[in-house]
Amino acid sequence: MTKERILVVEDAPDISSLLKIYFTSQGYEVMTAMRGQVALEICRKTPPNLALLDVMLPDMEGYDIGKALRASPRTRHIPIIFLTARGERADRLKGLGEVQAQHYLIKPFDIEEVHIIVKNQLEDARRKNQSHPVTNLPTADIISEQLRGLMTSNGWAVALLHINGFESFTQAYGGTVGEDVLKFTALLLNDAINESGNDEDFLGHMIVGPEFLITSTPERMRVLLDTIITRFDNEVGLHYNFKHREQGYIEVTDETGQLRRLPLMALSAGVLSSQDGPFYDIRELGEILEETRQRATTEAREQSRKSFAHYGRIA
């Protein structure tokens, strides 16, 4: 099972070390940052399941980190807990009100109390299906909320990406290595959005299956997918052994006992824009998006391409 990831943003080395040692011993993966910009960069690349924020940092206030997380569709779901010496009423109201943090705790703190609060927040997030258990990208209800927002606006594009051959890969290599592929894909997508998109672009991971969803503008979507498809095809081979990389396929036994040759993993992407509408609800949008994605898979086979995107009416 993938460890839940906690980000500790604290510029006091003794407190940062205490929190890292304690939460690591409790079975969490702990990332640390002593500056706000470093923390934001971590969240953009590998979003944590939860953030523990100090308020007073060398380059910015923890409030500004929290506001930045809440402003981005990719990170607004992350639970925030403040751990700070700033205990005035105005400070607490700012953290809980303006930033919408889940908790505001005053130093010195009881670390076991902090652990209970962290555990409860993570359990609450799991119950609400807010983040995927492997990649920690937004999922389920948050994806639905994002799609509902699109329905009331214009000038958007949405892409549904599927990792073709993922199930065969996990059959041959195992589920743990399959999780590594999901994490690799999530990191690749995040990097592409950081490089070619902006903070308004959304990235989610469907709760079932190796499928990801991106929302952006039609112009940026083409650039994003060109980057994503090129990088995926160039780098996914690193997850295979040397023999499979060289021959370009793997061999698996199907349900009839026959040995089959299957190509290496590739992406298929179905893309729709507001111009392809009108769409009357998110179920209709999702169904048409999946049909478009399946056409991308068919066209990829016909044109002998590794990965392929099928667009609606995006110019």
Biggest alpha carbon–alpha carbon distance for the chain: 70
Angle at which helices 282-302 and 141-151 cross, to 10°: 100
- Give the whole-angstrom CA distance, residue 52 versus residue 62: 10
Domains of the chain: 5-127 (3.40.50.2300), 141-311 (3.30.70.270)
Closest by alpha carbon to 229, among 208, 214, 240? 214
Q: How much is the average pLDDT of 52-69? A: 97
Percent of the chain at pLDDT exceeding 90? 80
Report pLDDT for 1.
61
Are 193 and 146 in contact by the 8 Å Cβ rule? The answer is no
C-alpha 312/C-alpha 63 separation (Å) is 41
User: 213 with 206: CB under 8 angstroms?
Assistant: yes
pLDDT band at 104; cut points 50, 70, 90: very high
Q: Give the residue carrying structure tokens 């492997």.
A: 134
What's the gap between Cα 179 and its chain centre? Answer: 13
pLDDT of residue 101: 97
Q: Nearest 10 degrees: CA dihedral of 268, 274, 280, 282? A: 40
Kindly report which listed range (33-42, 134-143, 249-258) carries the lowest average pLDDT score: 249-258
93 sits in which H/E element: helix 89-93
For 98, the 3-state DSSP assignment is helix
* pLDDT tens for each residue of 204-228: 999 988 999 999 999 999 999 999 9
